[in-house]
Amino acid sequence: MFSRFEKLSRRASELKRCFYCEALLPATSGEHIFNSSWGGSYKDKNLICCQCNSSFSNSTDKAFLIYVQAVMNSWIFKGERHDEVPKIVLENEYFLDPGAKLKLKQPLIEDEILPDGSIKSRLTFNSKSEAKRWIQGNGMANWLGRPASEEEKEQLKKIIIEAQLNITDAKPQPTSTQLNLREQYRSTAHTILKCLGFFLPEWVQGDLTKPIREFARYDKGDWRTFAIDTKELFPIAEQATRVLGLGVQQNSVEVYWSSYTKMVVGVLTILDRIKRSVVIAQDYCGSDSILYIVEGTHGSKKPPDSVFIEFDHKQFSLPLFNVQYFSSPTNIYQYFRDEFADLMGTRYPIDAITARLIQGIEKNNKKNLKIDQVSLEEYLNLFLTFFLDLGKITGNFVDRTTSRYKLLEYGFANLLHQHSGKLYTDPDVESIMTLVFKQTLKDFHSGGLSAG
Ligand SMILES: [Zn+2]
């Protein structure tokens, strides 16, 4: 089926001029291929000139920030230029600390006037130590409108020491933002063009890509003539992510050359969560191929990797079936609003609890525990917490006792009886735990964890 299947070599140095404005290269400073705020770290001086580089920094480079920060916050990692893992400030009283931990922006005081005229106050703090600081500092005095007496302070401290912790979990939170779709698509086009310049420089200099270059660099043309909704492309990025186990910590680009539609289409996937597709060229005639480019976000500064696949047209042609432009303005905004709501309301909190589960397992694994009643309980609780949280996020009730019973039934009980004394990193043990997870998740989806 394939007539070529190879890793392409880096050819950016063949570009003697900036592919936007024809200024001479190399530039004095390097350009990131994948934006640094998305975790990109590799830079090259042979792609575009410094002036063009800086023209993108004001708005285009920031177009995806809101999505990217959410992913980084939940998976607890940061981009090259971030000082720390991004925090997400919500519209209400809360912000999200790394790991999507819901925290109060400031101590929350809710006063309620009772029928007899007295006031009942409810104080909420992130932690007991924060509460103590609030009492000792200006917080309590501001609230009372006068300095607090020592007796009052002691009394409140006593209440706080005895208070039960009430942990608030990650859950859908109201958040709103201005989405600038035109800038998102310019950023997409810009990234895909740099990828092409890096591996197939002839493609960013030719006439066929002139319209998309003018759009990316000079904002010429209507973005809706470039933006497409590609639902049924060859799912290269998804396959690669799954097969290579890349997870969210990578950015990738796919380019599809299709003789059938006479189109060249590029797809950008940021952190395995945000996907945008653009028409790179029309009136294409030639063979059918796919280029897949991926770069990790672990700050290695290593150049992206590539795979190039060319198909034998007698046996196979890339169909690119559902290439659809976004037609009416209502459609467009509905589509992106839904996507955003899904990311923030569902995927993002689920990301956070998944990350917590994985990190919890890794932390436990480091202790080199052998399977026994006590250690098994630790792993069982991690799984149980995950399913209880999943219930809260999706609004489907999950019963603790039922879930615990199912987890035991699907393999945890077997681990204790048949694999006692083995390590949790033992391949047999790992595969049983994976199976337990999958089975229980299946039950969750079919409502099997809700019964009391
Ligand atoms: Zn330039």
More confident residue, 45 or 329: 45
My answer on whether 184 and 279 are in the same domain is: yes
In a domain, 333, yes or no: no
- In 271-358 the beta strands, taken as DSSP E runs, fall at 274-281, 289-296, 305-311, 323-325
Neighbours of ion ligand 1 (CB under 5 A): 18, 20-21, 23, 49, 52
pLDDT value at 333 more than 90: no
Is the domain of 316 the same as that of 204?
yes
Q: What is the number of structural domains in the chain? A: 3
Give the residue-averaged pLDDT of 393-418: 92
C-alpha 26 – ligand 1 centre gap (Å): 11
Least confident of 36-50, 156-170, 212-226: 156-170
Are 298 and 419 in a shared domain? no
Separation of CA 31 and ligand 1 centre (Å) = 11
Q: How far apart are CA 125 and CA 108, in angstroms?
A: 7
Q: Say what the pLDDT of residue 233 is.
A: 64
Cα 217 to ligand 1 centroid, rounded to whole Å = 9
- Same domain? For 158 and 185 the reply is no
Centroid of ligand 1 to alpha carbon of 21 (angstroms):
4
More confident position, 328 or 390 = 390
**How many angstroms separate the CA atoms of 82 and 46, rounded?**
25
Boundary of a domain, candidates 297, 326, 355: 326
Residue 286 lies in a domain: yes
Regarding whether 312 and 190 lie in a shared domain, the answer is: yes
CB 258 within 8 A of CB 284: yes
CB within 8 A of 307, min separation 6: which ones?
5, 6, 7, 8, 291, 292
**pLDDT, average across residues 161-190:** 73
Looking at the fold, whether 186 and 144 belong to one and the same domain comes out as no
Beta-sheet strand order (sheet of 263-270): 2-6, 305-311, 289-296, 250-258, 263-270, 274-281, 227-230, 323-325
- Per the model's pLDDT, the better-predicted residue between 2 and 389 turns out to be 389
| Residue 226: per-residue pLDDT | 94
**Given pLDDT bands bounded at 50, 70 and 90, which one contains residue 269?**
very high
| In a shared domain, residues 154 and 252 | no
Closest to 188 in 3D by CA, of 58, 298, 279, 320: 279
SS3 44: strand
Q: Could you tell me if 200 and 313 lie in one domain?
A: yes
**What's the CA-to-centroid distance between 10 and ligand 1, angstroms?**
20
Is it the case that residue 222 has pLDDT exceeding 60?
yes
pLDDT of residue 282: 94
Cα(170)–Cα(96) distance, integer angstroms? 8
Which of 287, 312, 289, 304 shows the shortest CA–CA distance to 9?
304
pLDDT for the residue 290 = 87
In a domain, 172, yes or no: no
Residue 270 has pLDDT above 90, yes or no: yes
User: Domain check: are 46 and 133 in the same one?
Assistant: no
394 contacts 346 by C-beta, under 8 angstroms: yes
Residue 171: the pLDDT is 52
Residue with the two structure tokens 């400030």: 89
Residue 411's pLDDT band (boundaries 50, 70, 90)? very high
Q: Which of 277, 294, 326 is the last residue of a domain?
A: 326
- Residue 207 sits in the same domain as residue 321: yes
Contact 268, 253 (CB under 8 A): yes
Cα 350 from Cα 300, distance rounded (Å): 28
* Average per-residue pLDDT for the chain: 85
Q: Is the pLDDT of residue 315 over 60?
A: yes
Q: Ligand 1: distance of its center to the CA of 297 in Å? A: 26
Q: How many whole angstroms from 55 Cα to the centroid of ligand 1?
A: 9
Containing structural domain, residue 399: 367-445
Same domain, 242 and 204: yes
Q: What's the pLDDT score for residue 127?
A: 77
| Residue 318 banded pLDDT, cuts 50, 70, 90 | low
* Separation between Cα atoms, residue 452 and residue 446, nearest integer Å: 15
Query: Would you say residue 322 has pLDDT above 70?
Result: no
Report yes or no on 174 lying in a domain.
no
Residue 221's region, left for phi above 0, alpha for psi from -120 to 50, else beta, is left
- Tell me what the mean pLDDT of segment 11-26 comes to: 96
Q: Across the strands, what pairs with 179? A: none
**How many angstroms separate the CA atoms of 166 and 144, rounded?**
25
Q: Average pLDDT, stretch 323-346?
A: 74
Phi then psi for 206, rounded to 5 degrees? Answer: -75, 170
What DSSP assignment string belongs to 78-139? --TT-SSSPPEE-SSSEEEETTTEEEESS-EEEEEE-TTS-EEEEEE-S-HHHHHHHHHSSH
Report the alpha-carbon distance of residue 2 to residue 290 in Å, rounded. Answer: 11
Give the span between the Cα atoms of 87 and 97, in whole angstroms.
5
Least confident of 116-125, 127-136, 215-224: 116-125
The mean pLDDT of 128-139, rounded to a whole number, is 83
Assess if residue 92 is contained within a domain. Answer: no
Residue 147, helix vs strand vs coil: coil
Is residue 232 predicted with pLDDT exceeding 80? Answer: no
How many helical (H) and strand (E) elements, i.e. helices and strands, does the chain have? 15, 15
Structural domain contains residue 240? yes
User: Is residue 152 included in any domain, yes or no?
Assistant: yes
Question: What's the CA-to-centroid distance between 50 and ligand 1, angstroms?
Answer: 7
